A and B are shown apart, each in its own frame.
Chain A
Amino acid sequence: MTATFVGMPPFPEAARQALADTQLRANLGHATATIRGKRARVVAEVEDWEQLRLAGAAIKDNTLLHLDEHLLRLEDSLTAQGVTVHWARDAAEACAVVAEVARSHGVDEVVKVKSMATQEIGLNEALAAEGIAAWETDLAELIVQLGDDLPSHILVPAIHRNRAEIREIFLRHMAAAGRPAPDDLSDEPARLAEAARLHLREKFLRARVGVSGANFAVSETGTLVVVESEGNGRMCLTLPEVLVSVVGIEKVVPSWSDLDVFLQLLPRSSTGERMNPYTSTWSGVASGDGPQEVHVVLLDNGRTRALADEVGRQALRCIRCSACLNVCPVYERTGGHAYGSVYPGPIGAILNPLLRGVGVDAQTDSLPYASSLCGACFEACPVRIDIPSVLVDLRAQVVDAHRASAHRLPKAEAVAMKAAALAFGSGARLGDAEKAAGLVGRLFGQGGRRRLPGGRRLLGRLPGPGAAWTDARDLPAPPTESFRAWWKRTGGGRS
């Protein structure tokens, strides 16, 4: 079964491992550059793109402001159409609902539509513990599941794999999960897709219970919406007798005209397509057509905690398009596993701490720092989540949490920041510090013979945290005269 992220090290350590994986670096560099290019082309052809972004953000903000009312309306609309609505405070409650539905029908397997919410709650592992196999039917999720791997991207969970690796996974592991891959399988995309198609078709036709998430939930009509590329989702949503959908409470939109905005924003931002191939919508039970027993699990699992965060609540606008991952220079090099969550990349760096809370574990607390704050994510986000600002706010929350607990504060850093606050508190004190630095520069600079291009003297290896800089980068020696000292000596540069 699928591995889990439990026990992942903090980001810097996990990133170090990923950065040394040459196959991963090559696969990611190629894949993210391709999607970035596609997205840029199709976004550029929409004249009112910025207006659409503003509209998307406004709709989400307004809905989140009255989330309680919209959710009750959604529940009413769903119930009126024969849907059983369940409310789940956390992952355990949500998993228990799905397991109970499966048990009540006596099944030992379910088929799944690609869904972030079910990944988030670890549904596959929870069902496995109950003796129920949860088969992923999205091609990339199938690759991840068969390879006993972890997803590394929201939209393209097997982005870290290339087709040669996929062929290997199919040949080795498909047989244990159902119809085996043909012995003469090549790494041509069409052959790989055909093997997956034949393997999955059996599962679609056999399964009696389907499990999905939803991209959107329209409260006025009680309609769930799934947007996808492959058509496997539609198979899962229509063939089984029973359907359970796990839906984050932030997925609600008031009306179909609101949905219109997101159906324009999402495909261009995610796959770089003008429109996604399949958009499935269903409103409860339709007699004699599709699943005759329909359940919806409305999932909190930290969302109300995020909603209470004044700066961070904008993260709940997220429509899981992955545009921020594809443009992120950090993600492009480390891949998704380093973030230790099904939500990687810039959105993961804010969403995970917002859902879980900070000051509890070192892995979560490392995520807001997993960014150079370059701002490419904010620029690409179709619902204008100001990720850099949220990251900076969360960093303050991490520091404050450690301040309050008075332990586990990275001591050298805290001391350095207090010292800097003192030196930067007045120009005179900074001048003294610079004189000391100039002295250090003279002492350390005299020993080295090497010069920076352009001729300036450089420092040798620094001790302590400074080694993290000088291990890979040269550093100029501090000048013997600071600007401030020059200004004073020359009377403002006039002598």
Chain B
Amino acid sequence: MVTCVNDAMFPDTGKAVVRLLRRLGVDVEFPVSQTCCAQPMVNTGYLDEAVPVVRNFVEAFAGYDAVVAPSGSCAGSARHQHSIVARRSGDPALAEAVAAVSPTVYELSEFLVDVLGVEDVGAYFPHTVTYHPTCHSLRMIGVGDRPIRLLRAVRGLRLVELPEAEQCCGFGGTFAVKNADTSVAMGSDKARHVGETGAEVLVAGDNSCLMHVGGLLSRQRSGVRVMHLAEILASTEDAATPKEHPVDAAHDSTEAAR
């Protein structure tokens, strides 16, 4: 499960997950009928609109040993909210399908540490990094210190502690737009704490939160980039994550001429 945000906006994260899991010997498939976990609808109050999306989700992911998502929030939505949507639909078959698929959904760090039993994934990333535990990964599904343990095992990586790490960054889905001022006030404090660490890279397990904090860090010309945990774990001595985005560069004549 690549998630809609990663599919449409952050394909490099999806590619990193594929690279990482294959390196660890996992048989990876991307069911092309997948779309979204329906959280944007559920958390904005549109339950009727969420029903076809959840139906599509359970059809796409039925029958796999594990559904791995590079997002604590989407994994949390599948595990905790799909049953609410199924109840709303009044369709017992959908409720049954949800009950079968939900328990197979894992956030990436959970899958690596609990199912594969690895903490050292053979990654190399020679940079100073600070980690933001996203709210849904921390409090909704409880990944605990799994991401930290994975990061500590990355060669060359220096992990610095983020002050007030457990405070929300202010993204909150449609909250970021419906209550934009409060959202930005929260994000500004998060960005300030990131700056205090002196890290080059802010890492997290959810690109939606990173899009918000990263958008603020970029607007401030902070010189700090944001990266998904999967991209750091996928980096090796042979194939360190390139500095520029290759997808972007391929379509950019200025970039190609440089």
Contact = CB atoms under 8 A, between A and B. Distances in A.
Interface of A: 11-12, 15-16, 19, 329-330, 333-334, 368-376, 378-379, 392-393, 395-400, 403, 413-414, 417-418, 420-421, 423-431, 433-434, 437, 442, 452-458, 465-466, 468-469, 471-484, 486-488, 492-493
Nearest to B56: A425
Interface in B24-75: 28-36, 38, 40-50, 52-53, 56, 60
Interface in B120-164: 135-136, 138-140
A486 B171 contact: no
Chain B: interface size category: 35 or more
Contact of B219 (A11, A433, A437, A472): A472
Interface stretch (B90-98, B99-107, B108-116, B222-230): B222-230
Given A395-B43, A425-B35, A473-B212, A480 B182 contact: no
Top 4 closest pairs, chain A to chain B, by CB: A372-B172, A473-B215, A395-B45, A374-B168
A418 B32 CA distance: 22
B43 A469 contact: no
A474 B215 contact: yes
- The DSSP consensus for interface residues of chain A is helix
A379 B166 CA distance: 12
Given A453-B222, A455-B248, 8 more contacts: A12-B178, A329-B186, A333-B186, A375-B139, A376-B166, A378-B139, A403-B48, A481-B11
- The DSSP consensus for interface residues of chain B is helix
A11 B185 contact: no
Contact of A372 (B28, B138, B175): B175
A417 B46 contact: yes
B219 A474 contact: yes
28 contacts: A11-B179, A15-B181, A333-B185, A369-B175, A372-B135, A376-B139, A392-B43, A395-B44, A399-B46, A400-B45, A413-B174, A420-B41, A425-B35, A425-B53, A430-B36, A453-B218, A457-B252, A458-B218, A466-B177, A468-B180, A474-B214, A479-B9, A480-B251, A482-B8, A483-B2, A483-B6, A483-B14, A493-B19
A398 B44 CA distance: 10
Given A373-B172, A473-B216, A442 B35 contact: no
Contacts of A403: 48
A453 B223 contact: yes
A433 B4 CA distance: 11
B239 interface: no
Given A329-B170, A424-B36, A476-B9, A471 B225 contact: no
